[in-house]
Amino acid sequence: MHLHKVYHRLSLLSFSARSSPSIFSLSPPVILKLRPVNSVRSLNSTSMSASKFRYLVPINAVAAEDSGGASNGSVSSSSTPPPTESEDDLTLGVGYRLPPPEIRDIVDAPPLPALSFSPHRDKILFLKRRSLPPLAELARPEEKLAGIRIDGKCNTRSRMSFYTGIGIHQLMPDGTLGPEKELHGYPDGAKINFVSWSQDGRHLAFSIRVEEEENSSSKLRVWVADVETGNARPLFQSPDICLNAVFDNFVWVNNSTLLVSTIPLSRGDPPKKPLVPSGPKIQTNEQKNIIQFRTFQDLLKDEYDEDLFDYYATTQLVLASLDGTVKEIGLPAVYTSLDPSPDGKYLLISSIHRPYSFIVPCGRFPKKVDLWTSDGQFVREICDLPLAEDIPIAFSSVRKGMRSINWRADKPSALYWVETQDGGDAKVEVSPRDIVYTEPAEPLEGEQPAILHQLDLRYGGISWCDDSLALVYESWYKTRRTRTWVISPGSKDSSPRILFDRSSEDVYSDPGSPMFRRTPAGTYVIAKIKKGHDDESYYIILNGSGATPEGNIPFLDLFDINTGSKERIWQSDKEKYYESVIALMSDQEKGDLCLDQLKILTSKESKTENTQYYILSWPDKQACQITNFPHPYPQLETLQKEMIRYQRKDGVQMTATLYLPPGYDPSKDGPLPCLVWSYPGEFKSKDAAGQVRGSPNEFPGIGATSALLWLARRFAILSGPTIPIIGEGDEEANDRYVEQLVASAEAAVEEVIQRGVAHPNKIAVGGHSYGAFMTANLLAHAPHLFCCGVARSGAYNRTLTPFGFQNEDRTLWEATGTYVEMSPFMSANKIKKPILLIHGEEDNNPGTLTMQSDRFFNALKGHGALCRLVILPYESHGYAARESIMHVLWETDRWLQKYCVSNTSDVKADLDASKDDLSKGTTDSESKAVASSGGGGAEMSDHECEGFHSITRSSL
């Protein structure tokens, strides 16, 4: 697979650090989001430092539901001035509201551009971004089909963000940037997506859409631009040839030809829904198959939906040259992936086909992978996988048959793939569990695929170098074990050996990941380095996050793959700054790379200085700054940030980041109202749970819905206090979830009170998704700690997600007590503190249906709780529209001002009441929590993990 293809898909799939080592190469296009955002916690927080990846944006800039709320800026015409407030307005809610100016000004700050480096690292694109979109864009009709949402008018995924312009800068020999050259020739107001460099870096391809009259087409058209002149023009002379971007969009086959997914010219109007159904909707399991799956949304419902899905997803592939030559290849089909071989001679084409399913999304539909020549001639079928409705819910389960079919990066046209030996079921014990195969694109008659490597854990990816070296990754979720193997792909006499064998959640032992260099074919392989021109020994460079008890200190190690010896050649400044390595910049050189010619791209930031980028050159390691972006929110430039450590009563070490407003002095100003914002996490050991993640010197990124916005309202913010739920050995962590949750919250609250920065009567708790679940549980089981709560887009009744949720893969029937005791819905009668519930009306995240908040609110209201429910029209799991985001901030600020800042309740009375309830044994689970509050804990992961495992399995 060409590595830039990975970036096209980052918006659709989530990758762990080990399962996609190519991500660490940051190969072209290197895309950097220059403004840190308050993103949700990484799925694999124990892998390589995620901090540098927060600057990455997918090249296509497709806005997944969670990304919209993280951008900044304003759409001045999209909101009306706030009406005059009255108590009735505040209680009932009238229209969209705006938060106070001190919050609004931060959110409305103009967004900085994203950066994209050319393949030869000699030019940089400044991709201009707009501010928050108006609600009108989210209100556009969308088709919810097969687990995806489609904008029928554009024939692409709905709710795409876009770039508004492209500036080109030359990277000068001295490391500075030349003057900006603006890309020109396209229509005013064009929305730009899918920016892609040609392999030689001379041309750009991108899509453009222009908002036209209401009833006219706004389909995407493919444009190309000459990088030297900045002149852009349509790729196709005919205006009737439009892009179909429901799945893949286009890819460079060579320096002058693109393979484009287009809307078939013969396609007519969309199918019309029959007024009278042809019959009842029937599903059957008369074969008594065991089919379990999580709560997928937006699935196909009937034959009409199947026809509609085919209508929008069917593609005609077209080869288009820069000279105007156009050639249709293949028959129209639902093509999902287009991958040219490194030598440009072949195309690896993936498609899905009927029979479709009404119970799983399109990633599990029957999948066909074919090999074509680059001019569209069919060569052979690689595989045709059946419908996969029966993938087990156990983590590390996968689809049966061939998966992860890709091109070897170190060969002109060699394929590799993996096949499971356990039927895809993680609960089946077998050795080997996965086998990795390789073969040429056109094997000789009778030639069988070669076994490259056999694995006892689950395959997690390969980093290629050459015939003498490749690294193969495997891991097992249940035990958190991860291993890296060294193999010699071209030698049958060389035995594979384990290079690293460790716990994936032990961040202190992470050795780092290899850096990559570009090949003449435009692929990326592990970079081999010599210490000197006369040196016969080769080394690789390991780029690590450098987790330590004092925080992350990123590093580069020169690593001898044969002896295991290391030499540290670079390390971040640990006193004031946080620096990280983004990419190898000297990878375009021919021949061997020598250490004294090494050149890398780094980022540098501090608590008060926003991220800037530098070129660091050996041998003197001189750093040249290439960006000079202004502080995104100067009003908070002098905010105070401290990474704090404290201990839970069972001895588990805890960490959090404490933020205090600019100019705050605890001795003069006294304790502040405090907002605790967090997200539980699951661990297999107390030691791993207590490890420090992140850096005290990182710049505090403030997203559009970030809790840090309330620094401008003079709050203390305790951000991301670890909430470890630990299940050691064979213990299931969630069986003591409430106990460990409360113990973690108690430790955090005691710490901020002891420091004198938080008023004990004025501590609020909040979170998003699984953090909202946490918030509701804390108000139910630890009412003595918090005065109120804010819960956004959460799930509260686990019986509505009976086949697993978050990191729980037991079913409701296997762990009934756990499901019930963990559900705050079941404890709605205990919630006496004010709780604000917010949810997107169109939430499509598995597990967090909008119904969860609606039913929880009714349960609370039925017991007389002080509660408020806000449903955001058109919003999904993350919030995107400016009107919605501003209103969320207004609602949150009003709640905090009314029930936190103005709170006069007696904390001691609450504490005594809570103890009385517990001593009376209000519930068995609570009594157990008190009796064993010195016990272990466990961790939950991110809301994306709510559907990650199922999505990943279905995509393999």
Q: Give DSSP secondary structure letters for 202-248.
A: SEEEEEEE----TTS---BEEEEEETTT-BEEES-SSTT--B-BSS-
Q: Where is pLDDT greater, at 480 or 33?
A: 480
Could you tell me which of 754, 756, 753, 763 has the C-alpha nearest to residue 784? 763
* pLDDT band per the 50, 70, 90 thresholds, residue 906: low
Give the 3-state secondary structure of residue 903. coil
**The pLDDT of residue 3:** 38
Q: Quick one: what percent of the chain has pLDDT higher than 90?
A: 77
Residues 6+ apart with CB under 8 A from 623: 602, 604, 614, 615, 616
- The pLDDT tens digits of the residues spanning 88-100 come to 444 444 699 999 9
**The pLDDT of residue 909:** 52
**The pLDDT of residue 893:** 98
**The pLDDT of residue 94:** 63
How far apart, in whole angstroms, are the C-alpha atoms of residue 850 and residue 540?
A: 49
- The pLDDT tens digits of the residues spanning 417-447 come to 999 999 999 999 999 999 999 999 999 999 9
Q: Hey, what are 174's tokens?
A: 């001295």
- The pLDDT tens digits of the residues spanning 594-650 come to 999 899 999 999 999 999 999 999 999 999 999 999 999 999 999 999 999 999 999
- The pLDDT tens digits of the residues spanning 284-294 come to 888 888 888 88
Q: Hey, what are 139's tokens?
A: 């209100």
Residues in the chain: 956
- The pLDDT tens digits of the residues spanning 196-230 come to 999 999 999 999 998 765 545 689 999 999 999 99
**The pLDDT of residue 924:** 39
* pLDDT band per the 50, 70, 90 thresholds, residue 587: confident
**The pLDDT of residue 648:** 97
Say if residues 74 and 99 touch (Cβ distance below 8 Å). Answer: no
Q: Quick one: what percent of the chain has pLDDT higher than 70?
A: 84
**The pLDDT of residue 211:** 76
Residues 6+ apart with CB under 8 A from 766: 675, 676, 677, 707, 772, 775, 789, 790, 791, 792, 892
Give Cα 268 to chain centroid, integer Å. 37
Q: Hey, what are 864's tokens?
A: 């007389």
Kindly list the catalytic residues: 769, 843, 877
44-53, 160-169, 816-825, range with the lowest pLDDT? 44-53
Q: Is the pLDDT of residue 478 over 50?
A: yes
Other CB atoms within 10 A of residue 587 CB: 23
Give the 3-state secondary structure of residue 87. helix
Radius of gyration of the chain (CA): 27
- The pLDDT tens digits of the residues spanning 780-802 come to 999 999 999 999 999 999 999 99
Region for 624 from its dihedrals, namely left if φ exceeds 0, alpha if ψ lies in -120 to 50, beta otherwise: beta
Give the 3-state secondary structure of residue 137. helix
Q: Is the pLDDT of residue 840 over 70?
A: yes
Q: Is the pLDDT of residue 563 over 70?
A: yes
Q: Is the pLDDT of residue 922 over 60?
A: no
Q: Is the pLDDT of residue 17 over 60?
A: no
How far apart, in whole angstroms, are the C-alpha atoms of residue 680 and residue 949?
A: 18
- The pLDDT tens digits of the residues spanning 122-143 come to 999 999 999 999 999 999 999 9
Q: Is the pLDDT of residue 53 over 90?
A: no
Q: Is the pLDDT of residue 923 over 70?
A: no
Mean pLDDT along residues 873-877: 97
**The pLDDT of residue 38:** 33
Q: Give DSSP secondary structure letters for 318-330.
A: EEEETTS-EEEEE
Distances (CA, A) of 538 to 25, 120, 656: 19, 23, 41
Residues 407-434 as b/e (b if ≥16 CB within 10 A, e otherwise) read bbbbbbbbbbbbbbebebbbeeeeebbb
How far apart, in whole angstroms, are the C-alpha atoms of residue 885 and residue 879?
A: 6
**The pLDDT of residue 535:** 78
How far apart, in whole angstroms, are the C-alpha atoms of residue 406 and residue 20?
A: 12
**The pLDDT of residue 730:** 85
Q: Is the pLDDT of residue 247 over 50?
A: yes
Which amino acid type is present at position 859? A
Could you tell me which of 38, 82, 63 has the C-alpha nearest to residue 883? 82
**The pLDDT of residue 588:** 63
Query: Over the chain, what is the mean pLDDT?
Result: 86
Q: What separation, in Å, do the N-terminal and C-terminal C-alpha atoms of the chain show? A: 14
Q: Is the pLDDT of residue 1 over 80?
A: no
Global confidence as pTM: 0.86
**The pLDDT of residue 215:** 47
Distances (CA, A) of 654 to 646, 651, 667, 722: 5, 9, 26, 6
Mean pLDDT along residues 658-678: 96
116-130, 205-219, 515-529, 651-665, range with the lowest pLDDT? 205-219
Say if residues 250 and 316 touch (Cβ distance below 8 Å). Answer: no
Give Cα 557 to chain centroid, integer Å. 27
255-269, 344-358, 527-541, range with the lowest pLDDT? 527-541
Could you tell me which of 425, 421, 423, 424 has the C-alpha nearest to residue 434? 421
Say if residues 839 and 853 touch (Cβ distance below 8 Å). Answer: yes
* pLDDT band per the 50, 70, 90 thresholds, residue 66: very low
**The pLDDT of residue 928:** 33
* pLDDT band per the 50, 70, 90 thresholds, residue 174: confident
How far apart, in whole angstroms, are the C-alpha atoms of residue 778 and residue 788?
A: 10
- The pLDDT tens digits of the residues spanning 378-421 come to 999 999 999 999 999 999 999 999 999 999 999 999 999 999 99
